[in-house]
Structure 1
Amino acid sequence: MTPLTVAIIGRPNVGKSTLFNRLAGRRLAIVHDRPGVTRDRRFAEGRLGDMPLRIVDTAGLEEAPADALETRMRQQTERALAEADVALMLIDARMGITPMDAHFAQVLRVSPTPVILIANKCEGGAAQAGLYEAFGLGLGDPVPLSAEHGEGLAGLYEALLPHEAALKERQAAEGLGAEADGAADADADLSGEDLEARAAAGADDDADEEPVDPGRPLNLAIVGRPNTGKSTLVNRLIGDDRLLTGPEAGVTRDAITVDWVHKGRPVRLVDTAGMRRKGRVVESLEKLSVADTLNAIRMAEVVVLMMDADMVLDRQDLTIARLVVEEGRALVLAVNKWDAAADRTATMQRLRDRMETSMAQVRGIPYVTLSALKGRNLDRLMDTVLETHAIWNRRVSTGRLNRWLSAMTGEHPPPMGKHGRRLRLRYMTQAKARPPTFAVFCSRPEDLPDSYTRYLVNGLREAFGFEGVPVRLFLRKSENPYAKR
């Protein structure tokens, strides 16, 4: 059965995101004392007791001029209300009913979507007066609740039961069945003994290409400095004004996930807040937004770094790119606003120069020029993302790796160690993919210089097509076969 879709609405700073996180069972939305933190709709799967829920966090309802950011935020909230099975209107019981609460309650009374009135922040006796005032809004009996402390959730469960029953009846009439969720397989690290045994055997026990499950969503994060067109790109890709956009810098604050299908392939797009230089991030709210972006990078498989065509790979872009590589994610550079670039030749030259000098540790990072606003080159961007993702998932058989290692050490033998004896690289294997990670077993790994490790990594890129993705190579000491005898 499709879960009950619940939209959480209300004026700013009444605790909508706190309730969203409570029902989701984890901190997904940013919670801050400043009003108006949430701007986009955020979806999450949650549960209240044995009742599965699809929860929607929304921006605060505010009256504003037609061209204001608050008006665009309200339009997102109105869409969430129209798509929901039931809406939870929150009020702050400690503050009582405000004129804004009364105004929007009047709007909700004529809405076709059922509404449950929630009197939030009801912990303690200070909220009793506000709770009694809520009866006058004409939205039925209010449910007293404290989202922060988790009190009153049983009352919310009872209020949602009739709406869940109505949803089941509608789905039964429409003949909808339950859908099974596919479980995603994760790469697992092998133990050192297993790796050495596999490497020493030297057999072709692994396929040269690890097939990517076409039913498994590709986690794609869009990152970059503020106002580079990240949200505009996501909206263009999915063909809907799903995310809030505008000329103002820093419109996006939360990392918003959008499920999408590209040419039959499920994609989980994550739009993130813009990342400024660390020294300029002083407000606590912006620090929370940056932390949300960093978490999105860690959870991603491929990261698209959006850049302005007139400011490609500046200092902050390079900082973000290095962070993505250090996290082991596949990286694609997107040069946005290409249609408005002042000097395209100079831009491309600067891009290549900065990649060669500042990103030499990951050679061959792919880049695409595009215009998110006009929808140009978006298919090429997604083709590049899928190609890079396939490389990031690639595996090489142990037999091929050991033959390659023998040729590499034969062409350029390892240097002498500290004790005057030449180092021996005995065998190697691929420990995991995502990113490609290799283990080389040698006599004295601590004596092998970094320059020789880079020689091996560069050789892996050229020989097995790992251009443009992070490659990790670990040196491990071989076990003495006679030590235990």
Structure 2
Amino acid sequence: MTFTVAIVGRPNVGKSTLFNRLVGKKLALVDDTPGVTRDRRPGAAKLIDLRFTIIDTAGLEESGPETLQGRMWAQTRAAIDEADVTLFVVDAKAGLTPADQTLAEMLRKSGKPVVLVANKSEARGSDGGFYDAFTLGLGEPCPISAEHGQGMLDLRDAIVSAIGEDRAFPEADEVAVTDVDVREPLGAEGAAEDEEVEPEYDETKPLRIAVIGRPNAGKSTLINRFLGEDRLLTGPEAGITRDSISVEWQWRGRTIKMYDTAGMRKKARVQEKLEKLSVADSLRSIRFAELVIIVFDATIPFEKQDLHLVDLVAREGRAPVLAFNKWDLIEDPQAFLADLREKTERLLPQVRGIRAVPISGQTGYGLDRLMQSVVETDRVWNRRISTAKLNRWLESQQVQHPPPAVSGRRVKLKYMTQVKARPPAFMISCTRPEALPESYLRYLTNGLRNDFQMPGVPIRIHLRASENPFEGKKKKR
């Protein structure tokens, strides 16, 4: 991107609505409740012929630095320091408040170019608030309606005037095209599905990882430890994270794009509209990630909700890895680890062999092993097996344990092939597929895990009836 723009303002003036308008997608959560946004969220913006990076921020609420509002404002200050231009959004409908005056004074002292934006200017009675904005001493306000898309051309001209045409329109060969978004599907069904042999596993390809878990399990703290900075808002309060925020970093020369998500409670406890939006945002991140780290609180592991989350990831076909966080609070680690291994095998049979790593996001313990487990799981998730090997294996499995006879007729398994990877999926051609019991499919699934070294990832087996060449033909007399 050519330059960076931060959107700032007091709560509920329409910052996230403007952010969504500029990025062209509903990435940021929007609600009438003040203070929805807490972390700073970057995005790739397009405004007429301008291309730049936009950062959505939390609203200004004056409070002590140790409070949640104070930590939110620290994130906003970091966005202002990072940006080249600041869009200062005020509410033309509601008029100015003392918080607007305080923020205007702060932006003047920052020395950065500021574009004053009077949002909600389409509303009746907004003229008074628009003219009051002149008193902030930041130049002429730009009237817009972020919700309806009015005034975008004027906003474009104001940004170009603030940043300068040389910076706004660099040479074409200097602009790096890196517009990738979390909401775009990854094509997780895998490429070249009709080819029998795929290229070897690429050790350098970027990885997309979603971090999920119950509220206050330590997801944001874990990601901050990976980054080596306080990039995401953390604290003792449960449910701080609301938006799914993506961050990018390098691990052993490999690009990692990691998504922090809101904590997910039991569905019956989710009553507020805002929490429902946060959970829906987290579910989208799971669908569009490649791997999912499920963070367990090691002090209270294997809650019912933890098991539901693992099952959700397996049903979505993502590659799961367990992280037992807060390991620094465990008194007898060796005995506790043995107990966790036994419970993992017993309570999660649908992903038998899943990799589980004890970690501490607070101290950094076990993070390198966690990433190594993620890479190994991704390797298994992308694995393909040749048809010849699968059919030899299928024949040996039937010799050891033949399919059961149903209504006096035995089901015949004739042919097997892998139809896709990510996750591994197989097709078996057989007679009477509806008669094959689920127990025999579990037998085949566990055999695939053991014989082809595919632990801890979901495996799909589809049955297809073999075609009868004489079906539909009348018998000749």
Q: Which runs of 4+ in 1 moved over 6 A?
A: 182-185
**Offset at residue 305 of structure 1 (A):** 1.1
Shift of 1:64: 0.8
1:471 is matched with which residue: 456, 459, 466? 459
Amino acid at match of 1:477: A
Structure 1 counterpart of 2:363: 374
Q: 1:211 aligns with which of 184, 201, 218?
A: 201
Letter paired with 2:324: V
Q: Contact 1:370–1:377 (CA<8 Å) still a contact in 2?
A: yes
Structure-2 separation of matches of 1:149 and 1:469: 45
Residue identity in the other structure for 1:44: G
SS in 2 for 1:134: helix
CA distance in 1, matches of 2:84, 2:301: 45
SS at match of 2:275: helix
Q: Given residue 480 of structure 1, which amino acid in structure 2 is its aligned partner?
A: N
- Confirm or deny: 8 A CA contact 1:218 1:266 kept in the other structure: yes
| Counterpart residue number, 1:201 | none
Give the 3 Å change call, closer, same or farther, for CA 56–164 of structure 1 in structure 2. Answer: farther
Q: Which amino acid aligns with 2:165?
A: A
Aligned length: 468
Report the secondary structure of 1:259's partner residue: strand
Inter-partner Cα distance in structure 2 for 1:305 and 1:412 = 35
The aligned residue for residue 286 of structure 2 is: 297
Contact 2:190 2:422 in 1 (8 A): no
Give structure 2 stretches of 5+ with no counterpart: none
SS in 2 for 1:34: coil
Instruction: Tell me, in whole angstroms, the C-alpha distance in 1 between the residues paired with 2:139 and 2:117.
Output: 10
Q: 1:284 maps to which residue?
A: 273
Among 232, 252, 263, the alignment partner of 2:221 is: 232
Tell me if the contact between 1:190 and 1:431 (Cα under 8 Å) persists in the aligned partners: no
| Alpha-carbon contact 2:429-2:466 (below 8 Å) kept | yes
Q: CA deviation at 1:182?
A: 9.6
Q: What is the alpha-carbon root mean square deviation over aligned residues?
A: 2.3
Q: Which residue does 1:132 correspond to in 2?
A: 131
Task: Provide the rounded CA distance (Å) in 2 between the counterparts of 1:346 and 1:164.
Answer: 64
Q: Percent of counterpart pairs with the same letter?
A: 51
Distance 2:141 2:311 in 1: 51
Aligned partner of 1:425 in structure 2 is 413
Q: Give the alignment partner of residue 177 of structure 1, picking from 149, 174, 192.
A: 174
Higher deviation after alignment, 11-20 or 420-429: 420-429
Are residues 26 and 180 of structure 1, via their aligned partners in 2, closer, same or farther at CA, if it must alter by over 3 Å? closer
- The answer (yes or no) to whether the contact 2:188–2:290 under 8 Å persists in 1 is no
Distance, in Å, in 2 between the alignment partners of 1:181 and 1:250 is 31
What's 1:25 paired with? 24
Shift of 1:108: 0.8
Matched residues in 1 for 2:417 and 2:50: separation?
47
Note the alpha carbon deviations across 1:265-286, whole angstroms, 9 max, x for none.
1111111111122222211111
Partner of 1:167: 167
Moved more, 68-77 or 45-54: 45-54
Q: How far apart in 1 are the matches of 2:190 and 2:359?
A: 38
**Structure 1 unaligned blocks of 5 or more:** 199-204
Query: How many angstroms does 1:484 deviate by?
Result: 8.1
Letter in 2 for 1:82: D
Distance in 2 (alpha carbons) for counterparts of 1:167 and 1:211:
41
- Give the direction of change, closer, same or farther, for the CA distance of 1:339–1:127 in structure 2 (3 Å limit): same
Post-superposition offset of 1:155: 1.1
Which residue number in structure 2 is paired with residue 4 of structure 1?
3
Instruction: Report Cα offsets for 1:238-279 as digits up to 9, x if no partner.
Output: 111101111111111111100111111111111111112222
Shift of 1:355: 2.2
The answer to whether 1:244 aligns with 2:245 is no
Assess if the C-alpha contact under 8 Å between 1:12 and 1:60 holds in 2. Answer: yes
TM-score, with structure 2 as normaliser:
0.93
What is the CA–CA distance in structure 1 between the aligned matches of 2:236 and 2:188, rounded to whole Å?
Answer: 41
DSSP-derived class of the 1:233 partner: helix
Shift of 1:479: 2.0
2:348 matched to which residue of 1? 359
How far 1:110 sits from its partner (Å)? 2.1
SS of alignment partner, residue 110 of structure 1: helix
Which amino acid is 1:386 matched to?
A: V
Q: 1:255 aligns with which of 244, 247, 253?
A: 244
Letter in 2 for 1:423: V
- Residue equivalent to 1:81: 80
Distance 2:393 2:164 in 1: 61
2:323 to 319, 334, 339: 334
Matched residue of 1:305: which SS?
strand
* Alpha-carbon distance in structure 2 between the residues aligned to 1:465 and 1:3: 47
- Rate the CA distance shift 1:300–1:177 in 2: closer, same or farther, 3 A: same
How far does residue 352 in structure 1 lie from its aligned partner after superposition?
Answer: 2.8
The residue type paired with residue 204 of structure 2 is: P
SS in 2 for 1:334: strand
> Structure 2: how far apart are the matches of 1:404 and 1:49?
59
After TM superposition, give the deviation of residue 345 of structure 1 in Å.
Answer: 4.8
Query: What SS class does the counterpart of residue 126 from structure 2 fall into?
Result: helix
8 A contact 2:220–2:233 mirrored in 1? yes
Instruction: Tell me how far apart the structure 2 counterparts of residues 218 and 382 of structure 1 sit (CA, whole Å).
Output: 11
Q: Deviations over 1:9-41 (max 9, x none)?
A: 001111111111111111111111111111111
Q: Tell me the secondary structure at the aligned position of residue 306 of structure 1.
A: strand
Relative to 1, partners in 2 of residues 1:421 and 1:304: Cα closer, same or farther, differing over 3 Å? Answer: same
Deviates more, 1:177-186 or 1:241-250: 177-186
Distance in 1 separating the partners of 2:233 and 2:382: 33
Kindly state the Cα deviation for residue 177 of structure 1 after the two structures are TM-superposed. Answer: 2.7
Q: Distance in 2 between matches of 1:113 and 1:482?
A: 79
Cα distance in 2, alignment partners of residues 164 and 298 from structure 1: 40
- Are 1:234 and 1:271, in contact at CA under 8 Å, matched by a contact in 2? yes
Q: Which residue does the alignment assign to 1:95? A: 94
| 1:213–1:387 CA distance, 2 compared to 1 (3 A) | closer
Letter of the 2:361 partner, please give it: A
- Give the Cα–Cα distance (whole angstroms) in 2 for the partners of residues 430 and 39 of structure 1: 45
- In structure 1, give the amino acid aligned to 2:221: T
Counterparts of 2:366 and 2:426, CA distance in 1: 35
Give the partner amino acid of 1:310: T
